[in-house]
């Protein structure tokens, strides 16, 4: 038990160190903006981070604690261990399916809610802030998927695999720094470049985590398939509808009465398709 406790502590320390390194790179990137863009990015990241801290972080922490108890069962027999692995997989697929639905809703109506939310929260509208928060609506689902998959990995990884995991996380941090440099300094995308660098980083890390999870579950006779957590066709229709709306001369629905009613109508349609 002492061995498992120390392994858990090591995983947590490694994860926190990597998070600090990534935040340092992000702060360094934001310093390359002009003062206006820097302030807008800080405001957008604070509002976006608030959603992550309030909604996704508690789910990640509770799931990580549950999986640590289910998967760190070296003293149990093989049959009991596989049963707990199956239960851990079931919990993971439930969370991933819920995140997929939330992601589609965020991508579908998030950019239309942003103008309304800005007017209600701060009483004024900035086109740059509105556009950046709309981009954050795309980033937050990637952040959520990365957080829950890495929570499973941190609970399942063995002490012998921990060094390999830390090595990959370091590689991803270096790649994030390079991507940020290319998008900020070469492509001159400003704050949007840093958001897209984060999206790319979260995507790559999520793919790696899912690859590890599938390999781990296969070793315990509980394979993971995309269909296990994919939303149904009606839910995917929402994303197709939202994408079509943006491709055909897309403009936000606005922050007046018409905009609020149109946003509510689109949200109602989304709810009907999901139901």
Determine the pLDDT at residue 4. Answer: 43
Half-sphere exposure of 175 (CA within 13 A, CB side): 15
The pTM assigned to this predicted structure is 0.79
Torsion sign across C-alpha atoms 43, 48, 54, 59: negative
In the prediction, which pLDDT does 5 show? Answer: 44
Measured CA to CA, the distance from residue 131 to residue 136 in angstroms comes to 9
End-to-end Cα separation, the chain, in angstroms: 45
Which residues are within 8 A (CB) of 41 and not within 5 positions of it... i.e. 6 or more apart?
Answer: 30, 33, 132, 191, 194
The arithmetic mean of pLDDT across residues 29-33, rounded, is: 52
Which tens digits make up the pLDDT trace of 42-95?
777 787 778 778 889 999 999 999 999 888 766 567 788 888 999 999 999 999
Residue 5 phi/psi, 5-degree rounding, is -65, -45
pLDDT band at residue 145 under the 50/70/90 scheme: very high
pLDDT attached to residue 1: 45
What's the mean pLDDT when you consider all of the chain? 77
* Mean pLDDT (whole number) for 204-223: 92
Res 251: pLDDT? 54
How far is 110 from 134, CA to CA, in rounded Å?
7
pLDDT of res. 73: 64
The DSSP call for residue 228 is G
* pLDDT at 7 (0 to 100): 47
**What confidence tens digit (pLDDT) does each residue in 12-24 have?**
544 554 555 455 4
Is the pLDDT at 266 greater than 70? The verdict is no
């Amino acid at each position: 038990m002492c061995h498992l406790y120390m392994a858990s502590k090591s995983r947590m320390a490694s994860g926190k160190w990597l998070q600090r390194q990534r935040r340092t790179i992000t702060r360094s990137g934001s310093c390359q903006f002009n003062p206006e863009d820097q302030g807008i990015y800080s405001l957008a990241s604070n509002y976006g981070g608030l959603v992550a801290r309030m909604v996704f972080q508690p789910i990640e922490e509770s799931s990580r604690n549950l999986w640590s108890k289910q998967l760190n069962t070296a003293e149990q027999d093989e049959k009991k261990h596989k049963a707990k692995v199956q239960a851990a997989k079931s919990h993971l697929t439930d969370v991933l399916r819920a995140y997929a639905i939330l992601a589609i809703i965020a991508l579908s109506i998030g950019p239309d809610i942003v103008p309304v939310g800005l007017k209600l929260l701060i009483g004024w509208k900035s086109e740059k802030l509105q556009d950046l928060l709309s981009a954050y609506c795309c980033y937050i689902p990637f952040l959520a998927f990365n957080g829950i998959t890495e929570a499973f990995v941190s609970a399942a990884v063995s002490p012998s695999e921990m060094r390999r995991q830390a090595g990959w996380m370091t590689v991803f941090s270096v790649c994030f720094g390079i991507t940020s440099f290319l998008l900020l300094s070469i492509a001159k995308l400003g704050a949007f470049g840093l958001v897209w660098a984060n999206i790319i980083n979260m995507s790559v890390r999520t793919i790696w985590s899912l690859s590890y999870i599938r390999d781990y579950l296969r070793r315990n006779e509980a394979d993971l398939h995309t269909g296990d957590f994919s939303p149904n066709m009606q839910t995917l229709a929402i994303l197709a509808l939202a994408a079509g709306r943006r491709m055909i001369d897309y403009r936000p629905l606005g922050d007046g009465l018409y905009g609020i009613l149109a946003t509510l109508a689109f949200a109602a349609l989304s709810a009907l398709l999901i139901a």
